[in-house]
Structures are given as C-alpha cells and as structure tokens.
Chain A
Amino acid sequence: MSKLKLIIHREFIAKVRNKSFIMMTFLSPLLMVGMGALVFFLMKKNDEKVKEIVYVDNSGLFSKEDFKDTKTIHYQDYTALGIEETKKKVEDGNYYGVLYIPKKDSLELLANSIEFYSKDSPGMSVMGSLENKIEVKLRNEKLNNFGIDLEKIKASKIQSEIKMFNFSGEESSKLINGLKIGVGAIAGYLLMMFVMIYGTSVMRSVIEEKTSRIIEVIVSSVKPFQLMLGKIIGNASAGLLQFFIWGVLLFVIITVASSVFGVDVVEMQTAKVPDAQMDVVNQAVGGDKMQIIIQEILRLPILKMFVLFIFYFLGGYMLYSSLFAAVGAAVDNETDTQQFMLPIMLPLILGVYVGFATVINDPHGSIAVLFSYIPFTSSIVMLMRVPFGVSWYELAISMLLLLVTFVFMVWLAAKIYRVGILMYGKKTTYKDLYKWLKYKG
C-alpha cells in the first residue's frame, strides 16, 4: 500500500471508530425525524383549541351568514348587549376577543373604523381572516350600491394560465422552478455543512497530532504534504459515508414511520402552507400537469448536474479543508484557532446567503453570476445556479478559477502546514504565517 493510502485509511478508521461519530451518524436522523414529528404534533395541538370570538354589529350590514363557524373559530352575535356590556362580559369570560363594527355613514368610513378588543394580542392569521371577511362583505355591498349583479360578477370570473414552452417546443410549468430552487439550495447548503463539519474535523486531527507530538515521527516517514492530503481525503471519505448513512436511514425511518403510524408525509411537509396556496398546488399538480412535471424533471440535465455537483463539492471542500489544515498546524490548541477561523467561515456563509438572496430571484442576475465566479463562493453559488442551466463559458470560467485557486491554496496551506506542525509554544500571528511562507524547504 502506498503511504498516501495508508494515511487515508488510518484517518478514515480513526474517524469512523470515534464514539461521537457513531453517535452522530445513527442518532442524527432519528433526532431529525423526531423533531419534525414533534413540531408537527405541536402545531396541530396549537390549532386545535377553538377560539370564541364575539361580535357587536351596529351597522346592521353583517349577518350570521358572514360569520360562519370554522374548525378553529366560533362566532357569537352579542349585538343586542351593546359594546360596553359585551366588553365587560368578554373580559371576564373565556373568549378570544370582541369584534366591534360601529355604525357609520359611508362604507369607506366604516372600513377603517372597525375595532377588535382582546386580552392578548391576537394572532396574525385570525386578524387576516377577519379582515378578509369584512373586505369581501363591504366590496359586495359596494357593488350592490353600484347596481351590479353579484351573480354576474361570479359568472364573469375567468382564469387564464400561460403555457410555457421553450423553442424546441417542450412544455414547462411554474412548479418546476420551485423544484430547481429546492435542488440548488439543498446542494449549496449541504456543501456548506459538509465543509464546516469535516473541515473542522481535519483541523482537529492536525491539532491532535501536534499536541500528542507524534507529528515528528510521522513526517520523518512521509512528506507533510502527503500527510495533509491523506487527512483531507480520509476525513472526506468518513463524511461521505456519514451522509450516505443519513440518507439511507432517513429514507427508512420516514417510510417505516409513515406506514406504521399512518403519518402522511406529504401532510407533514405541507402543514405550514396555507390552504389557499395548497389549492394552487393541487390545481397545478392535478391531472396532465403532473405528467408535464415528470417530463420536465426527466429533462433536467441530471447527468450534468451530478457531474458538476461532484466537481464543485470536491473543489469547495478541498479548497476549504486545506485552509483548515493550515490553521490546525498554526496553533497549539483548539482555543487559539478562533482568530484564523473567521476569515475562513466568512466567505462560506456569504456564499450561502448570497446564493439564497440572489439566485432565487434571478439565477442569471449580475450578482449571482459574479459570486459564482469567485472561487471561495463559487462552489456554493454555482451549485445553486446549475439546475437553471448555466452557459458553458460561465461554467468554464468558474471551474477554471476554482481549479487554479484550489491548487494555489493547497500549495499555500501546505507551506504553512509544513512549518507550523513543528512549531510549539509561541502563539502564532498572521505575521508569522507570512514569514513561514518564505521559508525554504
């Protein structure tokens, strides 16, 4: 076995045998699913309590028809009692609040003088639905006043949807855009997480060798560069294994959970989406639309995406983890790493934020394009852009820049690493790092 292989093997074994690694690997998916189920359960519980709302309608415009009970809100008409009495009664009783509709001369005036009284500030969704009811009612009143037949308005309602084609005549849907955003965002986010977790793991492993002083024995047998590379690859392999196990476990747990407990996975994921939007989705998904989406998914450049994902994933990880290795070599213990960590973390986090902020709005906007060129953010931002189709020359520039920077940074990090691993005692400064770069051999 070559020395590099031996080092990779050792790093991999040392990592996966670690107790915390094993715990993380097998408990995280359980925790994730458990937390999801808990949130879902709590959300349901939260909504289950019926809210009692009473209303005092002095305008005489509203009727029982306008305030129909729903699953979560019950309405009671207290108009007869008068607003002051009602308020007193409601304050003592177990009510959510009082809606007061005064008598006004015009509808416009009325629209802005309706009041709501409650003990605690009312929830956004409750107020929204009340406002909606009032707006619909007042608009209908107004239309009536104009002498327009409501039935005709209803009959005149028409829905249009523009069918989207590309020039080769393939149909596409709006929903697929959401899917592209999702795929890109997941890929970018995954990369950031991976770099953070396994980059710091590389760093810790370097520090461990330094503090245990075995480093001098190792580098008398292998080149420091080989050792650094072996560490980076070994940790990445352990990481990929962990991600793979997570994927498999998540799939298994969700499948088992949904079949055993009858939890509807789709319901769980869409629980937060308001009904109105769900309708749109259902409508869009309904019937032949589903077929278009499937066709479109199949038409996504899956192979290209996969290859680029691998490229940017490895490129980004190698770029950052070599920096983490250099940081590990520069310090004696983990508490000293902070001053060097910030400049590494910053572009990483910036990449994710810029990606989320710009790519979703316009995947081909100038900022999105710029950040998909800058090597320190390109692996994240470009991964987010790829599903939307990126021209080959943009890809070429971005990949070339990443490759050149990656080679340069690994070389730079190796120089710092080589000197740093044998330095003890004095706390390292940026000036020292610069000095080390100039050391020969």
Chain B
Amino acid sequence: MKNLLEINNVVKNYGDFTALNDVSIHIPKGSVYGLLGPNGAGKTSLIRIINQITMPDSGTIFLDGEVLSPKHTAVIGYLPEERGLYKSMKVGEQALYLAQLKGLSKSEAKKRLKYWFEKFDISAWWGKKIEELSKGMAQKVQFIVTVMHNPKLLIFDEPFSGFDPINAQLIAREILQLRDEGATIIFSTHRMESVEEMCDEIALIDKSNKILDGKLDDIKRQFRTNIFQVGLNAEHPKEVEAKLRESFEVLPADFKLLTDGLTMNVKLTEGNSANDLLSFLTSKGELQHFVELVPSANDIFIQAINKNK
C-alpha cells in the first residue's frame, strides 16, 4: 500500500454552497503533503472531513486501505488553525484528558506526556492553568497534545502561526522528524517558503476544486520557464548579445554580478537546449553565472490561481 490516505471524488455541500466539488487526493505514506489554497477554497472543509468532524455528501475515503471510520480518530492527530485549550484547566490534566479521548490509557498517556514535556523542557508547566501561560507556551502544549498518541496521520493547519522564528524552527524540525519516524503529514499553510522547505507533494485547491497536485519537483518542472540567468565576461558584450538574440530570447537581467560583466536573462526557444546556450556562451568569454530560474512555490501558487479565474 503506497498511499496512506486516498480521497476519491469527495463532494460536500452546505445548503446551496458547494464547499468541495469532486475532489480526489492521494497522499503517499511517509510524505509531507502540502494542502494549499486561498482563503475559503475548501481546505478546512476537507480537513474536517478527514477528521470525521463532518461527513462528505458523496465520495470515498480510505485510510491505510480501510474505509475511514470512527475508530480511525485514534490514529489521526489534528492541530487546527484556530488553537484552543480549556483555559481554566491545568496543563497536565488537560493533556491527559485529550490523550485519553484519543484512546490512550491513563498510564500510557502519562508516560508519553512526560517524554514530550521533557523534550520541550516544559515539565514545570504541568500544574499551571492554560490561562497562566503565554500564547506561544500554550501553542507548544497544543503541539504535544496533537502528536503524543503517535498518529499515523498528522494534520497541521498553519502550524507555525503564533510561534517566534526559533520555536517555529523547533516545530518544523519535530514535524520532519515525525515524518522520518514513519508518520504521514498533511500540512496546510499560506506560507509558501515553508512549503518549499517541508513538502514532498502538494495539492492546490481553489474555489472548491482541486486544480493542481503532484510531487513538488514535478510541478516545478511543469511550471518551468526555461529562463536562465547568465553572467559573462566578454570582450565585446554588445556583439555577443546581438548574436544571442538570433537564436534565443533575451530578457533584462533580474540579478547582479560581483564583476561588471554582461548580465541578462535568456529564455530557450524551440529547438535549442541549455547545452546549446552553454556552449555558445563559453565560446564567447568567461562564464561567471549560469542558473536556471526555477519557479518558487509562491510563483506556482499565484500563477495557478490566476489561471483558474
């Protein structure tokens, strides 16, 4: 079984409003899967369906080869975007309660919590009430509560919001470590730089439809622009540029060189390859800079959404 989660043709309506329109997503085991999309696209609806908070109107969902059913809540961990814990309840008691709701025995829950509290160096908070903690501290507790039952599937909705850069890095490391230990992670966010860092695969949802999905690298290839940044020290830069224009498309440079050589962006045209460009350039002078312009997740996001308008 390659995929941990298979969502097939899921439809969800709220009255006249369609929140999800025939959405299918397959999430490979052991991957970090980015669930992207603008506000109100249907991400939360989908996440709630995976968590069985709501049921789809039609479509099927399989978790590890089995039809998704209430017993699976024990193998799913969910960190919602809107965080929250019982304010007047003590940290330890609260974590124990939530762990037991996920099916852990009290003693097992205690053991795991002890491990996590020590790992995050927050054992001193055990007897404190949530209302006595700062927002960032409460977020840490909530992260632990989400992962302590060793779920097969972890769903993080904007996991870094509310964390300072140091703690955000700590959480990112923990998430990747959980993946390395075998967990599959659904990662929903607007912060595209963290998508680049963390995600193996992504799906893009817009206006209730999935408009794009696959391996991040494949998608990047799909969105390839074939533009190269070129920096060259040549004796006759004007001539080189004129010659280049005969077989390539030359665009203004969007970078700076350390030396004052010729800079430009060159787009491959039909019938020539990066190698053709490279051999031409090396024959004309000393090549300083040669980089393919790879589209960022951010570019892809914006392009795909605009195309879907």
Contacts and interface: CB of A to CB of B under 8 A. Distances in A.
A212 B84 contact: yes
Given A214-B85, A217-B80, A222-B101, A440 B53 contact: no
Contacts of B80: 213, 216-217, 220
Interface stretch (B54-62, B180-188, B200-208, B288-296): B54-62
B88 to A, nearest CB: 8
Nearest to A218: B101
A441 B78 contact: no
A10 B88 CA distance: 12
A422 interface: yes
Interface size class of A (residues with CB under 8 A): 20 to 34
B42 to A, nearest CB: 15
Tell me the dominant secondary structure on chain B's binding face.
Answer: loop
Nearest to B54: A441
B123 interface: no
A16 to B, nearest CB: 13
Nearest to B98: A217
B233 interface: no
B56 A441 contact: yes
Nearest to A10: B97
Nearest to A432: B15
Given A3-B101, A6-B100, A422-B48, A220 B78 contact: yes
Interface in B65-85: 70, 73, 76, 78, 80, 82-85
Given A6-B97, A223-B70, A439-B15, A216 B76 contact: no
Nearest to A211: B84
Contacts of B255: none
A23 interface: no
Interface string B176-194: 0000000000000000000
A438 B145 contact: no
Contacts of B82: 213, 216
Contact of B86 (A3, A14, A222): A14
Contacts of A14: 86, 88-89
Interface centre among A216, A219, A422, A438 (most CB of B within 10 A): A216
B15 A213 contact: no
Contacts of A222: 73, 101
Nearest to B58: A440
A44 interface: no
Contacts of B3: none
A215 interface: yes
Interface string A212-237: 11111111111100000000000000
A305 B85 CA distance: 44
Contacts of A213: 80, 82-84
B87 interface: yes
B86 A214 contact: yes
Contacts of A438: 15
A17 to B, nearest CB: 9
A385 to B, nearest CB: 43
Nearest to B145: A217
Contact of B84 (A3, A215, A221): A215
Given A14-B86, A220-B73, A220-B76, 9 more contacts: A7-B101, A208-B86, A212-B87, A214-B86, A217-B145, A218-B98, A220-B51, A221-B102, A435-B15
Q: Which 7 A-B pairs have the closest CB atoms?
A: A441-B55, A213-B84, A221-B101, A220-B51, A214-B84, A216-B80, A220-B78
Interface of A: 1, 3, 6-7, 10, 14, 208-209, 212-223, 422, 435, 438-441
28 contacts: A1-B100, A3-B101, A6-B100, A10-B97, A14-B88, A208-B87, A209-B86, A212-B84, A213-B83, A214-B84, A214-B85, A216-B53, A216-B78, A216-B82, A216-B84, A217-B78, A217-B80, A217-B142, A217-B145, A218-B98, A220-B51, A220-B52, A221-B101, A422-B53, A422-B54, A440-B13, A441-B55, A441-B57
